[in-house]
Chains A and B, each alone.
Chain A
Amino acid sequence: MGDPMTLLEPTDSAPVPHEADPAPSPNGLTDPEFELVMLHVDGELSDDSVRAAAAVALLEQSAVARAVAADWVSAKVALREAVLDPAHEVDLSRVRGRVMTKLPADVRSAAVDPQPAAGFGAWLRSLGLGKVTLAVGAAVAVAAWLVATAAGPGTGPGGAAPPAVAEVPGEAPAVIIEEIEIEGGSVVVDPGKGPGTSTIIWHFEAQGAG
């Protein structure tokens, strides 16, 4: 991926092919144009010379496109300086923490009582972890903990009948994980979607870790 600022320099390229007049988005570009600029800034068009040339031409012709691209570059720089660089300085060789108690109170309440229709991805986005999701998706899940928040019906191992859930006072969960100690990687909590459902805690091992 090249330097985004360099890629924004106007060059002699073919004009942008305009398709069937899509409505401009609030930022002044049509959705296809906006996507083209984003892909170009992200360096995602290196294998698509036609679209890359179109992106360069658009940037040359349109002050709005240049402004959008500059904003996007600024946002990427800010993200790198504020989040990614500090994150790389963190020693994850021995992660140790209290997963749930690290969540802010409002997030924790959402985790305890998520919207029924909210999926894992939506829940992650509600935590502002959309970027993390992408990174996690490229990693390798090495373990997961599934925590039953309520005892199921029937008999337990050895024929012993598990006590009724009502024996758990108030709304105390059946299991509280105080601390997870892992050898690097990331931990993501996928809360249960309601009473009797389970919470899954994923441990993702970083790429290349053994």
Chain B
Amino acid sequence: MKCDTFLVGAAALLATLAVGWAPMAVWAQTAPQRAVLAVRVIGASKAPAARVDPRLRDIERELKAFQSDFNEFTLVREQQLSLDVGMRGVVKLTDGADFVVTFLGLTPGPAARARCKVETPRNVQTLTMAIGGRTLDILPAGDRATIVSTSYER
């Protein structure tokens, strides 16, 4: 008798969980996906003395990869893009051209990655980024360059 009661109770509990889980699963699949990306437009040039804008300290090491060509880095513009799936975020580059990021969605899995299409004046990339991931696009123009840092914040 006790065993029957236990089984019935367990079955009821499982049924309740199943009923509750199904909508949750559906919600998880249909929940609006959003990515917040930080885009920084950086001017790079060759100067008599090396100088990195203090606001770029967190990527100074990466910028130094290009120190043979450029040693002065200045933050020109900083923009945070909060994008839903399919939305395009546009950031103006130093020459007025557009740097366009389209959020394509999150990849499936426990550690979702943001899948984005990035369009610069010279190329188009499709990439996925983990939170904290960052790319730098360098667009040389004569003795100067525009560098665009794109990072996936959340």
Q: Which residues of A come within 8 Å of B, CB atoms?
A: 141-148, 151-158, 160, 162-165, 167-169, 172-183, 198, 200, 203
Contact = CB atoms under 8 A, between A and B. Distances in A.
B90 interface: no
Contacts, number: 131
Interface stretch (B4-12, B22-30, B93-101, B125-133): B125-133
B137 to A, nearest CB: 6
A181 B40 CA distance: 22
A200 B136 CA distance: 9
Interface of B: 38, 40, 57-59, 61-62, 65-66, 78, 80, 110-111, 113, 115, 120, 122-140, 149, 151, 153-154
A148 B153 contact: no
A165 B128 contact: no
A140 to B, nearest CB: 9
Nearest to B69: A141
A176 B127 contact: yes
A174 B133 contact: yes
22 contacts: A145-B137, A146-B66, A148-B133, A151-B132, A151-B134, A152-B62, A154-B57, A156-B38, A156-B58, A158-B153, A160-B154, A162-B58, A163-B131, A164-B132, A168-B130, A172-B130, A175-B128, A175-B133, A177-B135, A180-B123, A198-B65, A203-B123
